[in-house]
Amino acid sequence: MGKAKRQKLHNKKHKQISPSKALQNPNGSSIQKSGAEKPKPKPHKQAQHSAPTVPFSPSENILLIGEGDLSFARSLIEHHKCTNVTATVLEPSLAVLEEKYPQAIENVRVIEEGGGKVMYGVDAGKMKAWTKGKKGKEKEGIMDRIVFNFPHVGGKSTDVNRQVRYNQELLVSFFTHAISSLRPAPKPLSTTPPSIIVTLFTNPPYTLWNIRDLARHSGLAVHTSFRFQAAAYPGYRHARTLGVVKSKKGEGEGGWKGEEREARSYVFVRKEDGELWNAAANAGKRKRGEEESDSESDSENRSGEHSEAEEPDDWDEKK
């Protein structure tokens, strides 16, 4: 074989296959090389917000303590149709209250026109009991809900430990005086017992107050707690103890807005009412469990399966 022919055969043997030919089916049709599949975009999930808890019914007797500018009381009457609201403030008169909170006078008008009451000069730690009864007989409380939103003694001290202690003393005194104003719990206990509700911010120093322990030592039991959502009370504005804070220019309100901060409401009931409520709840759970068990047995029987008590006489475990 000639040298030229051998060189030609060698080149043909080592000839590289082009990429286009490498991606062909046996029938000659080309194969499209697919690129990496792009991941499908996940649908956007909106954050789920639970419906706000509003622990009031229109017909309940509601006592509000330390109401500030009275905007919360106004919202209960105007938007939640509560008809038996008694709102109290520490300030001794409407004139003093208006000087501290200019918007209060309009709130007072709406409250009183809506059937509510406003009482001045009421100290949460020294207040009298709201009761009824004949002379010579033990008087009973008349309130279904007693509410103290954002209690605070004010700027008595800049020392955090002292501030914590002063506010703890305020709460203990409030609990002690408020218990006697709660109406007797209905029997049988089918609805939430008469309760005391306190709302606090969820950050220090408020978390240092240990409100649950203070309530327990005052003869109360923790019933529940829930996130306080100011938006559930249209028109409500957080009123600071020192009054309206003006901006640096002296116009409008300055500083932080309390209604925009995270807060929680704690619901307390008398210890004996809490025990009755828990007993009723546990009995209800047992009853539901028995009913579900009976329902499952009935379902099994209807499907052709036998309960242990109804096994046929010729049933044999070895079968």
What phi and psi values does residue 267 have, to the nearest 5 degrees?
A: -105, 125
What pLDDT is recorded for position 47?
45
What phi and psi values does residue 176 have, to the nearest 5 degrees?
A: -60, -40
Q: What is the pLDDT of residues 190-217, one digit of tens each?
A: 788 999 999 999 999 999 999 999 999 9
Q: Residue 93 — very low, low, confident or very high, per pLDDT cuts 50/70/90?
A: very high
End-to-end CA distance of the chain: 87
Q: What is the mean pLDDT of residues 61-84?
A: 97
Distance CA 203, CA 170 (A): 19
For residue 78, what is the enclosing H or E element? helix 71-78
Which three-class secondary structure state does DSSP give residue 310? helix
Enumerate the domain spans of the chain.
Answer: 62-245+254-280
CATH of 62-245+254-280 among 3.40.1160.10, 3.40.50.12280, 3.40.50.150, 3.40.50.12780: 3.40.50.150
Whole-model pTM?
A: 0.72
Q: What's the token pair of residue 284?
A: 């209800």
Query: Which of 202, 194, 73, 76 has its CA nearest to residue 145?
Result: 194
